[in-house]
Structure 1
């Protein structure tokens, strides 16, 4: 396996990459501590590239607080756009391939159709806008990149919807969950495995790709499956987006077409419910 350098190593996907690398015996990979891997510190980044000389750089670092981003435009832009650009510049200088994680939030999500990579991106939130700007900044600097748009990321690590539902389900008798936002959950362990397969493939079909688990669901049905698979007894009530207002708007329909990544890299993507079951089992083992 090629020499790999991971940014955002302490986050959810970074932790999943570490877990999968350990399981698969991938040793040529570095997870620098946050202090030495600040994507806004150009001098520090150059020193790290000088030291590691990576063939592949995986950028999991991002500003992901969707609602807070509405009030923190500069910080979100700095991390999601300028930080991504900084990595792209160094990847070009060092002939490294950049694997950058993006989001379904780059789309408006107002039409019930499978989203293709070439569809026009029209974000409806600051978070989505800054992630789109990050994609554009990378493409303007280097052609040696894979941008992976993903959605509804969860795992047994860090804070996410699955762990929040399990915590709330254990404390409450009744929960209300939005039923009119539709998408696809993505098990971050599956995404981590896919990233390593892309690296190992040697395929240089650079560009933008969509990756989530297979299938379609709403947040309500996702929560229902979480409680069913974990044998959690709680009354679940479906509500509309209008009944649960948030500072940032969310796409109503953001189901992505994954055919491009499946065909290009010969990937077999699991159904979201099968992967959710694996995550629930892992959480029970680690409890």
Structure 2
């Protein structure tokens, strides 16, 4: 009706803050020269990459091993792994092609580029780390903090195809206690709140166990390991196909055993119902 002001629909924002667009961000030559690609992945450039290598060496990494770096970015850690590993034994994938290119162009020396074929790198947003070889170690630093639980499940599914049996996949995540209500929003001084349903993500410890249960993994919670933002570490050990099959059979047997009493009660009720309602003649 003319002259009538209609009521407006409420727009309720529970937490304001920037929701980062990771894969779509592109870096100009001027931004790269200014170091924007370093800031975009969280900074701590001079220490955190070496910390990751030291951690993996402490867990048994040796120069002849092959490493897949999921979310390699501009090689904050990768440049250290390239120096440590035998030539051609480092592989990197990232959802943002511009970040990888910036790192390859300006963060690696000529000698490092000689040790890292560009064919060992790929931009992909669905965790395609298949370079035709099996790796001994995969790692995802600050990746699970920016993707959904279904993305984590997809990552574990696809990474299982490229990690050798007995190898490990290490991933960091923001953990909250099991008593934390699922709708909790964790404020951040940097203006990027933490949620369970959108970027930036926090998770329960058992969320990762659930995601791992769909693949041939043994999930091991490690916890604190020295991350500057206190992300916790999880380890996923790649089972052999035979071990995974045995585990699946045991799980099915356990489910059947748990359902046994319920099934028997259902059958008894069905028989009683039939005796009361069906005409035996």
Q: Tell me the TM-score range normalised by the shorter chain.
A: under 0.3
Larger Rg: 2
The structure where helix makes up a greater share of residues is 1
- TM-score normalised per structure 1: 0.27
Q: Which protein has greater RCO, CA pairs closer than 8 Å, 6+ apart? A: 1
